[in-house]
Amino acid sequence: MLAHLNLKVRKWTVGTLAAFALAASGSAYSAPKTVLVVGDSLSAEYGLARGTGWVALLEQKLKAAKLDARIVNASISGDTTSGGRSRLPALLAQHKPNVVVLELGANDGLRGLPIASAEDNLRSMIALSQQNQAKVLLVGIRMPPNYGRAYTERFTGMYKALSTELKVPLVPYMLQGVDLVPANFQADRMHPLATAHPVILNNIWPQLAPLIKN
């Protein structure tokens, strides 16, 4: 009788442990992913009503698609790659993102800062994100033609080179299709109106979606 009771206890213990393990596994599987966006004014809703920029639209799109993801928008207007690089370690430690979207470089270019420095900053940010087990999406921008052909080509090539070198997906130009229409921009002719941000999201989504879904 005692031996039979001990056998039943052992079975119950094993079964209970298995149930707890399954529950823990299911909980981990269903945990929402965190997407960290580190960008500048193009992602920080500069000059826009809150909730109308492409990052806010992304959050709405994820909810509509029933994709369980939490968006952390750590973008700051005027930020450079140097600023992003200095902020990133704390952001990674705090939010532990599954995906990091890097949308930086425009202010480096507009200020005529050395492309080599911007490239080194972005490389460091990508590597640090990957070391923290996060997938990275690099979002590119272009410089106006008045900066000269040599500079603009080197600037655009920076993003492609980093994407190839570090094997991260790239959105070559986030303003594709937006910059062709002057009416898409605010009075400063640099920052898109809210009506253009769905186009920006459409440019980014095809490269970002697989990182969130997988």
Residues labelled catalytic: 41, 188, 191
Dihedral of alpha carbons 156, 160, 161, 162, sign: positive
Q: Tell me the C-alpha distance between 96 and 20, whole Å.
A: 25
Contact 211, 137 (CB under 8 A): yes
* Segments in the chain forming alpha helices (H): 2-30, 54-64, 81-95, 106-110, 115-131, 149-166, 197-213
Burial of 22 (0-12, 13-18, 19+ CB in 10 A): exposed
43: phi then psi, degrees, rounded to nearest 5: -115, -10
Amino acid at 105: G
